[in-house]
A and B are shown apart, each in its own frame.
Chain A
């Protein structure tokens, strides 16, 4: 799609054609009392040189991952984004393309999204994926609504080890529609155990929601959780905030997940100060008609040539209205394309290597940081690229000390978990060199 502004001459011509004297006249239906009768109070335009300087100054106030050592994860991960991604997505055909409602002029976009869907199916171990949702939290909330539709039940159980903001979004989505939200605790090992799930699951439960690796980086044992859910007639929703982990972990579908959601940001899309992000959503074939979001299908035209088209539109609002599976009417196509390019250029071997590198860096970090005097590992279980560090010193003081040394140390867990207020959530990825990890350990040793 070409974005070309209208000239004053264009505007005059259009106004003349419709017989209107000024654009202002077109707003006549808006009461005069609420219409702005003066120009907007914005500063005068800057020259390109001045604008560049001003923006650089603003940007310079950020502690970004290029200039600071970052050990912050908690849902948004510092991973390498290969140059090929930007090189391709900045192409006009991709950057400004809109919703592919007209398949005859959108085969490129549709094919890319179909490939994206196929890759998500491979990673998640599910039969069908949609063309993306906004981000992980709302994708997970939509999975809850879908489970409610499928089972007709109104109770949802969510593990406390699920990202706190995902749980909050889940509550927001279910608050006014009669769905009861129950939480189950994490164990001393920092994971969710099937026995507490079993105690809380009932014939009123629509689904159990768990995250793996969980908010603490812990790897959940999904099979017993799936079994417990299914025994109660409930679905298992598995949310994956760190999909790089799927380079080595078993796809959740193989452990019995019924819906797999998650955040695709980690797949080469960059930190971008927290967004835009990429929600992914996949499920079993039998549930496809209950799935929200866009769906690209592969088919053949009259001459037998392969073609792609948006399909099963009868789930969506513009066909089904209030009975639609969701009110979402868009997707994160461009970000999904970035993730697709990342996955395709990494390939299964490359993704596995990145995942193993993350695992090794974290093992090294756990070993070094756990040995610093006054610090220790809070949970003993296996983790992917995040872990919880407990400390005798106040976490806020630790983070301030580190920031002065150009290190973003992690997340103060006390913000979300009062029982972990002496802990930090630390993340190490392939972007953290050994030297950086050593520097972190040294800096921690100097905290007063």
Chain B
């Protein structure tokens, strides 16, 4: 449920290091809590983000949640397939449901995030909040 090769934020985003870039999405816990995702608002390519700055919004039938960037960098790609198939966020949150690809300013920033075990412990303690 929480792949070991990813890093996690307290706001339930994951990031996967791909060379100088980071691929971002939301975790299994997040998609389950949201319910059926109906819309994802993604930033424009070229947008510069700081770590934990909001980069978009995910909307489900019952709620709207801000999305936080796990690292600082420039948005080089967004998953436009989510426009027609937002449900991929529920079905394949670590795969086809990815949201943005960021060219990282400093990969060392990922050190500030939780690893898979840390995230699972966090979920257990927070009561999955």
Residues of A near any B CB (own CB < 8 A): 289, 314, 319-320, 323
Q: Which residues of A contact B63 (CB under 8 A)?
A: 314, 319
Cβ contacts under 8 Å, A323 to chain B: 64
Contact with A along B58-100 (1 / 0, CB 8 A): 0100011000000000000000000000000000000000000
Q: Min CB distance, A146 to chain B, in Å?
A: 15
- Quote the shortest CB–CB distance from A152 to chain B (angstroms): 10
9 contacts between A and B (CB under 8 A): A289-B39, A289-B41, A314-B59, A314-B63, A314-B64, A319-B63, A319-B64, A320-B64, A323-B64
Residues of A within 8 A of B64 (CB): 314, 319-320, 323
* Chain B nearest Cβ from A208, distance in angstroms: 23
Provide the residues of chain B in CB contact with A289, threshold 8 Å.
39, 41
**Cα of A425 to Cα of B27 in the assembled complex, Å:** 63
A323 to B63, CA, bound (A): 13
Chain A residue nearest to B41 in the complex (CB): A289
Determine the main DSSP class of B at the interface with A: strand
Task: Tell me, rounded to whole Å, the shortest Cβ–Cβ distance linking B49 to chain A.
Answer: 16
Number of B residues contacting the other chain (C-beta, 8 Å)?
A: 5
B83 shortest CB reach to chain A, Å: 11
- In the bound assembly, the distance between CA atoms of A320 and B59 in angstroms comes to 10
CA distance A230 to B61 in the complex (A): 34
Most buried by B among A289, A314, A320, A323: A314
Q: Which A-B residue pairs are the 9 nearest by beta carbons?
A: A314-B64, A314-B59, A320-B64, A319-B64, A289-B39, A319-B63, A289-B41, A314-B63, A323-B64
Shortest C-beta distance, A221 to chain B (Å), equals 33
Give min CB distance, B58 to chain A, whole Å.
Answer: 10
Query: B41, B59, B63 — which one has the most chain A CB atoms within 10 A of its CB?
Result: B59
In the assembly, what is the distance between CA of A319 and CA of B39, in Å? 15
A289–B59 CA distance with the chains assembled, in angstroms: 11
> What 1/0 mask marks residues of chain B from 24 to 43 whose CB sits below 8 Å from any chain A CB?
00000000000000010100
Chain B residues with CB below 8 A from A314, complex form: 59, 63-64
- Distance A320 CA – B62 CA, assembled complex (angstroms): 11
Q: Smallest distance from the beta carbon of B15 to chain A beta carbons, Å?
A: 24
Report B54 CB to chain A, min CB distance, Å. 10
Residue of A nearest to B64 (CB): A314
Report the separation of the CA atoms of residues A385 and B39 in the bound assembly, to the nearest whole angstrom. 44
Chain A residues whose C-beta falls within 8 Å of the C-beta of B59 in the assembled complex: 314
Residues of B within 8 A of A319 (CB): 63-64
Across-interface contacts of B39 in A (CB, < 8 A) = 289
Q: Assuming A289-B39, A314-B64, A319-B64, what are 6 further A-B pairs, CB within 8 angstroms? A: A289-B41, A314-B59, A314-B63, A319-B63, A320-B64, A323-B64
Q: How far is the CA of A289 from the CA of B63 in the complex (A)?
A: 14
How close is B67's CB to chain A, nearest CB, in angstroms?
A: 13
Determine the distance from Cα of A314 to Cα of B64 in the docked complex, in whole angstroms: 6
A314 to B40, CA, bound (A): 12
C-alpha gap A323/B65 in the complex (Å) = 11
A299 to chain B minimum Cβ distance, whole angstroms, is 12
Chain B residues with CB under 8 A of A320 = 64
Per the bound structure, the CA–CA distance linking A319 and B59 in Å amounts to: 11
Q: How far is the CA of A320 from the CA of B65 in the complex (A)?
A: 9
Give the Cβ gap from A75 to chain B, nearest Cβ, in Å. 37
Closest-by-CB residue of A relative to B44 is A152
* Docked CA distance A60–B114 (Å): 77
**Residue on A nearest B39 in the bound complex, by CB:** A289
Q: B124 CB to closest chain A CB, in angstroms?
A: 29
Residues of A within 8 A of B41 (CB): 289
Q: Nearest-CB distance from B36 to chain A (Å)?
A: 13
Q: Can you name the residue of chain B whose Cβ is closest to the Cβ of A319? A: B64
A317 shortest CB reach to chain B, Å: 12
Query: A412 CB to closest chain B CB, in angstroms?
Result: 49
Query: Complex Cα distance A320/B66, Å?
Result: 10
- Bound together, the chains give a CA A320 to CA B39 distance in angstroms of 14
